[in-house]
């Protein structure tokens, strides 16, 4: 855990002290929103509101469709309301930076506003190698998710009694989605301690699982079926699988944001598979998802060194400005450098 301000109390109590003295609080999260960025933002929003303070959430873009059941109406989007978001960030005297640790992760428009802001900035994040732009940094890489750290904030600042279903539901969602339904090795005893506190607050966890699991569209399943049957390439020497999808292929199946999010984990469920790499052509670039199993098969170094990305050892993201075919060939060429051959 890192911080730059001199602490006169524990870091979470100091964060609440900053909240109590601020007048214009803004919560930000990274571009290409996911369950943890949305969940931690909404959980923190409702907690701050219970402290009796006004707060605004400003995100670069909208939540993925699979989170349709969450009320995200209070989130202002840079892509839809740039003037309003600009005004809110320029007026802010406290900005939270959730689930990201580099200013570039919020997109160029919000990055400029964030870097120009002279107010107090508080980062709460669990990714490796944080930049040193905030005033206060909570960077806990052993945490399963940023949502878990928001529960830590609530508890360790002495406000656990405020944790209720409204705050806890998005936080449970964030932990659930960022741990692959508690499958990833980022889940530690502390994760389950936090989950117990969320359930004790009245969160109906079974309903969250239902809403996440039972919301497939026909077009999403057809796209996944096409990807698995026609686009799956397995490098059997290494038990690494790659799927590539062009913008034309995505359009054919009426692609919606979030439709390919589970593909890498689906591929990784193949018996014996060590790693899965899925990349899609979107917004003029290749967006790449890396997933793997085991400490001996990290993917974050590959993502960082060659694809302007990074993340966790077994779950990372990246991008490529090469063509689909060039990106595919580049990945195939790199696999032998980052994965051991299967012993015969």
**pLDDT tens readout for residues 24-46:** 999 999 998 999 999 999 999 99
pLDDT digits (tens, 9 = 90+) for 264-279: 999 999 999 999 999 9
Per-residue pLDDT at 222 exceeds 80: yes
| Phi, psi (rounded to 5 degrees) for 206 | -65, -30
Q: 């292929």: which residue's tokens? A: 249
Higher pLDDT: 103 or 185? It is 103
Domain at 11-212: CATH architecture: Alpha-Beta Complex (3.90)
pTM: 0.81
Task: Please give the Cα distance from 113 to 35 (Å, whole number).
Answer: 24
Domain 218-338, classified CATH 1.10.150.20, yes or no: no
**Does 11-212 match 218-338 in CATH topology?**
no
> Which tokens in the block code for residue 297?
């098969």
What is residue 7's predicted lDDT score, i.e. its pLDDT?
41
Residues 114-126: tens digit of each pLDDT: 999 999 999 999 9
In this structure, are strands 285-292 and 315-320 parallel, antiparallel, or unpaired? antiparallel
CB contact at 8 A, 209 and 175? no
Minimal CA–CA distance to 312: which of 165, 155, 79, 143? 143
* Range name among 65-69, 170-174, 220-224, 253-257 with the lowest pLDDT average: 65-69
Q: Does the pLDDT value for residue 98 go beyond 50?
A: yes
Q: Domain limits of the chain?
A: 11-212, 218-338
The answer to whether 96 and 44 are in contact (CB under 8 A) is yes
Residue 1 has pLDDT above 60, yes or no: no
The residue written with tokens 């009796």 in the block is 52
Tokens representing residue 165 in the block: 């279903």
Confidence of residue 5 (pLDDT cuts 50, 70, 90): very low
Q: Is the pLDDT score of 77 beyond 70?
A: yes
pLDDT at 8 over 80: no
Q: Over 80: is that where the pLDDT of 238 sits?
A: yes
Question: Is pLDDT at 244 greater than 80 in this prediction?
Answer: yes
């Amino acid at each position: 855990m890192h911080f730059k301000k001199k602490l006169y109390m524990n870091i979470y109590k100091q964060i609440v002290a900053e909240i109590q003295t601020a007048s214009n609080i803004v919560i930000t999260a990274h571009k290409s929103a996911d369950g943890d960025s949305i969940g931690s933002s909404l959980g923190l929003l409702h907690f701050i509101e219970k402290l009796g303070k006004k707060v605004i959430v400003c995100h670069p873009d909208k939540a993925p469709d699979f989170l349709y059941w969450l009320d995200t109406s209070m989130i202002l989007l840079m892509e839809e309301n740039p003037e309003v978001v600009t005004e809110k960030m320029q007026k802010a005297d406290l900005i939270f930076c959730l689930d990201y640790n580099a200013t570039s992760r919020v997109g160029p428009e919000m990055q400029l506003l964030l870097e120009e802001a002279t107010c107090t900035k508080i980062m709460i994040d669990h990714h490796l190698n944080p930049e040193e732009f905030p005033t206060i940094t909570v960077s806990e890489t052993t945490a399963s998710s940023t949502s878990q750290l928001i529960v830590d904030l609530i508890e360790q600042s002495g406000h656990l009694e405020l944790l209720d279903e409204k705050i806890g539901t998005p936080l449970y969602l964030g932990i659930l989605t960022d741990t692959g339904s508690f499958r990833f090795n980022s889940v530690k005893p502390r994760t389950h301690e936090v989950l117990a506190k969320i359930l004790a607050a009245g969160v109906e966890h079974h309903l969250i699982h239902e809403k996440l699991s039972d919301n497939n569209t026909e077009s999403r399943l057809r796209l996944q079926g096409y990807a698995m049957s026609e686009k799956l390439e397995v490098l059997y020497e290494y038990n690494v699988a790659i799927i590539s999808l062009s913008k034309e292929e995505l359009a054919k199946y009426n692609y919606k944001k979030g439709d390919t999010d589970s593909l890498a984990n689906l591929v990784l469920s193949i018996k014996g598979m060590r790693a899965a790499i899925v990349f899609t052509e979107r917004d003029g670039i290749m967006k790449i998802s890396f997933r793997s199993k085991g400490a001996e098969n990290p993917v974050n170094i590959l993502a960082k060194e060659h694809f302007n990305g990074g993340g966790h050892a077994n779950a990372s993201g990246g991008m490529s400005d090469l063509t689909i075919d060039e990106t595919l060939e580049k990945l195939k060429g790199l696999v032998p450098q980052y994965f051991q051959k299967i012993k015969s």
